A and B are shown apart, each in its own frame.
Chain A
Amino acid sequence: GESVGLHLPTLSVQEGDNSIINCAYSNSASDYFIWYKQESGKGPQFIIDIRSNMDKRQGQRVTVLLNKTVKHLSLQIAATQPGDSAVYFCAVHNNAGNMLTFGGGTRLMVKP
């Protein structure tokens, strides 16, 4: 099976600083990874994804890093803004099934 965990339940950062949110997974056969953002009262919103044949992928102000050796995934948000305040969680797919396993979420709080 697959279990997905997050290192911190809450992360508080100053506006303008960089944020790093971490995720650990258990199954070495995992081949696809996604980060989601969820604002209060809304559905999860896709941010960025990465496949196991890569170790880094960049988007607009976000970077995902994948370390398959230690089964660790991180989301970096540059120049964090108040609008980034939300719960972030990772999702992991392994090629044995047709489903994603979701982590529990980290709440990012941005201080003005």
Chain B
Amino acid sequence: DAGITQSPRHKVTETGTPVTLRCHQTENHRYMYWYRQDPGHGLRLIHYSYGVKDTDKGEVSDGYSVSRSKTEDFLLTLESATSSQTSVYFCAISTGPSYEQYFGPGTRLTVT
């Protein structure tokens, strides 16, 4: 998975609790992305980062925040998890916006 790890790989949490997912890369790529994948919707971009402390919203950013304090780490936080945020979350990295993205193994999140 191109030097990308995600943690945790699986998580079950209750509605209303905060959740943080971590993406770590060893490739020193400038761009990092968070996607969610749901049946019938394909991959949808939540947030992305184009450098340390530089982030922007994607297609489905409501209810999510991100932070990038180091090149290698990109955190996705659900401030107050809802059942609609049950999904598989993928992190991806790339050298630029019009270059291939490499994906991590994913985190399966269930909000009960």
Residues of A within 8 A of B (CB): 31-32, 34, 36, 41-46, 49, 89, 91, 93, 95, 97-100, 102-105
A-B pairs with beta carbons under 8 Å apart, 25 shown = A31-B98, A34-B100, A36-B103, A42-B106, A43-B90, A43-B103, A43-B104, A43-B106, A46-B101, A46-B102, A89-B42, A95-B98, A98-B48, A98-B50, A99-B33, A99-B45, A99-B48, A99-B58, A99-B97, A100-B45, A100-B101, A102-B42, A102-B43, A104-B41, A105-B42
Residues of B within 8 A of A (CB): 1, 31, 33, 40-45, 48, 50, 56, 58-59, 90, 97-106
Contacts of B59 in A (CB 8 A): 99
A104 touches B105 (CB 8 A): no
Contacts of B106 in A (CB 8 A): 41-43
Contacts of B42 in A (CB 8 A): 89, 102-105
Which listed residue (A44, A49, A93) contacts B97, Cβ 8 A?
A93
With A102-B42, A102-B43 in contact, is A43–B101 under 8 Å at CB? no
Question: How far, in angstroms, from A46 to B98 measured CA to CA in the complex?
Answer: 14
Which listed residue (A43, A89, A95, A104) contacts B1, Cβ 8 A?
A43
Question: How far, in angstroms, from A95 to B97 measured CA to CA in the complex?
Answer: 9
Which listed residue (A46, A95, A98) contacts B56, Cβ 8 A?
A98
Question: How far, in angstroms, from A36 to B97 measured CA to CA in the complex?
Answer: 16
Question: How far, in angstroms, from A97 to B50 measured CA to CA in the complex?
Answer: 12
Which listed residue (A32, A41, A45) contacts B103, Cβ 8 A?
A45
Closest chain-B Cβ to A33's Cβ sits at a distance in Å of 10
Question: How far, in angstroms, from A34 to B58 measured CA to CA in the complex?
Answer: 19
